[in-house]
Amino acid sequence: MIRLGRRAALGLALASSALHARAQNREAQGKDDWPNRPLRLIVAFAAGGAADTAARTCGQKMGEILGQSVVIENRTGGNAVIAANATLQSPHDGYTFLVDAANQLTNPALMKDLGFDYRTAFVPVSQFCLFPQVIAVKRDFPARTIQEFIALARARPGSISYGTPPAAGMAHLAGEAFQKQAGIRLVHTPYRGGADAARDIAAGVVDAVIITTNSIRPPVQAGQARILAVTSLERVPTLPDVPTLAESGFPGFDLSDWNGVFAAAGTPAPIIDRLAAVIGQAVRDPGVRQRMDASGAIMLGNSPAEFRRWLEAQRGLCEQVIREAGITLG
């Protein structure tokens, strides 16, 4: 056994302490210097869609604030699981984030063998925006109000069709929740996207649709569809005269489309907090708001804690609707 003198032992202890301090300083400096290279936002949806538009619009402003470019990477497929896996497989160092939506809440109830748990694999950073949905009918549909629509549906159960994009999406969940609470039975037609559903309501192929304010705008402006109600908790600023379902006899009804930013678990908390603050600053920018307001989006930019609380409330609601309505991806 080698015995160290008191002076040597003291020297080793001081050296070890210095090394530990330098390591801590390097780690702190790395966080303080963040970001020192471009950020990557992996978007789980196709280019040109609502989530992609929000990511690109907000991402550009975020890059200006941070002094680094924000690269948008669209990774579609697998009901957004491909993008989620790509994020989880990237280094958890604060340079790769996921832009996702309701799949965070619905996939666990719809898909088996995911390979990860959304609740523990991802950390909420901040929401970009809400996209309120509307219940709209074709031009010559006899109901002029949501109350008249419900009365007609009760008188003709199973004969009124409605379309949503896609099966098991937030619009589909809103439709099932609406039917249950209103005591009506409609015929559901799933579409690949909001533009497809808007096309068919304009042509009179379906009686009604539940789609976002942005998707319904062209047929409404052309006089080919009429909006009866919105599914968000509060009225939409761009549609101030359209009532909510919550004020039309269904208190608390709140099922909107949305998107937000998530980090892989293990991403340094100071980086998550700073990115959330940057997102909040970006969504308040007048230029960002001007572009996104035109799409009917309601900009948010909430904190990680606020986002997490909102997700948990919505998660329970979505899981309940999926279970009770027997919704599947097929």
Cα dihedral 20, 21, 26, 32 sign: positive
Domains and CATH numbers, the chain: 37-130+256-325 (3.40.190.150), 133-230 (3.40.190.10)
pLDDT in tens, 172-203: 999 999 999 999 999 999 998 888 999 999 99
CA-to-CA separations, 130 to 16, 57, 101, 161, in angstroms, rounded: 52, 15, 10, 26
The token pair that represents 166 in the structure block: 């896609």
**pLDDT tops 70 at residue 267:** yes
> Which segments of 117-240 does DSSP mark as H helices, in order?
118-121, 146-155, 170-182, 194-203, 213-221
Q: Judging by DSSP bridges, how do beta strands 96-100 and 70-74 pair with one another?
A: unpaired
pLDDT of 2 over the 60 cut: no
Q: Which two tokens stand for residue 13?
A: 């202890």
With a cut of 70, say whether residue 20 has pLDDT above it: no
Name the pLDDT band for 22 (thresholds 50, 70, 90): very low
Cβ count near 126 (within 10 Å): 25
- The answer to whether residue 319 scores a pLDDT higher than 80 is yes
**Residue 7, pLDDT score:** 53
pLDDT tens-digit profile of 29-49?
445 799 999 999 999 998 888
Average pLDDT over residues 149-177: 96
